[in-house]
Amino acid sequence: MINDENLKEIEKEELEEETLEESEVNEDMEFEELKDNTNDEMEDSIVDNLKDENLKLKDENKKFENELDALKDRLVRINAEYDNFRKRTEKEKKSIYTDACADVLKHMLPVFDNLERAMGAEGNAEDLKKGIEITIKQFEEALKKLGVEEIAADGEFDPNYHNAIMHIEDDSFGKNEIVEVFQKGFKREDKVLRFSLVKVAN
């Protein structure tokens, strides 16, 4: 039979069981709350970190954009400077060529003047010959002032200065000796302006 004491013990056990169950439920709820709080804190922390990183990336992006703008500006300036340099160089080249031609022609024009005068002059063949000799002398002086000199065409044939257009076999001349000059050659310093056209022996 169940007496009062047994009943009290059963009730006590049931009460303890309920309390134990409530305690477990409470613990579970506390754990869930703690978990939720921890998750919220972690989420907040992650969001804050992402915001900070986003700000840093924006700053870096802005810095790179500024550098890119500076480089573009520099490239545009360099391109404009190069274009100006190219145009100026082209203009200077034309100017140099024009100046060089003018320098040469100012020495040649007096010769031209004398040839024109000779055409209009009256006189015999001897006078004309004398006039031509004077004009040739004047032309040679003009060439000398320009640094142009005649290529020597006596002695041995030199392919650097002479162009052989005829060849003869003759024992009275040495090997590769220049026998005759058909057209004089000229040079200025080391540059050959025109090769001498010559006849070469042996």
Q: What domains does the chain contain, in order, with CATH numbers?
A: 48-146 (3.90.20.20), 148-202 (2.30.22.10)
Distance CA 52, CA 42 (A): 15
Read off the pLDDT of each residue in 58-70 and give the average, rounded to a whole number.
94
Give me the pLDDT at residue 186, please: 96
For the stretch 130-152, pLDDT in tens is 888 888 999 999 999 999 999 99
Q: What is the DSSP secondary-structure string of 22-91?
A: HHHHHHHHHHHHHHHHHHHHHHHHHHHHHHHHHHHHHHHHHHHHHHHHHHHHHHHHHHHHHHHHHHHHHH
Give me the pLDDT at residue 129, please: 85
Residues 6+ apart with CB under 8 A from 184: 150, 151, 153, 194, 196
Distance CA 111, CA 105 (A): 10
pLDDT at 18 exceeding the cut of 90: no
Distance CA 126, CA 99 (A): 39
* Cross-strand bridge partners of residue 166: 199
> What's the pTM?
0.53
Residue among 118, 185, 189, 138 nearest 158 (CA)? 185
Residues 6+ apart with CB under 8 A from 202: 168, 169, 170, 171, 173, 174, 175, 176, 177
| Better pLDDT: 9 or 98 | 98
Phi, psi values for residue 167, rounded to 5° = -140, 135
Distance CA 47, CA 52 (A): 9
Phi, psi values for residue 170, rounded to 5° = -150, 120
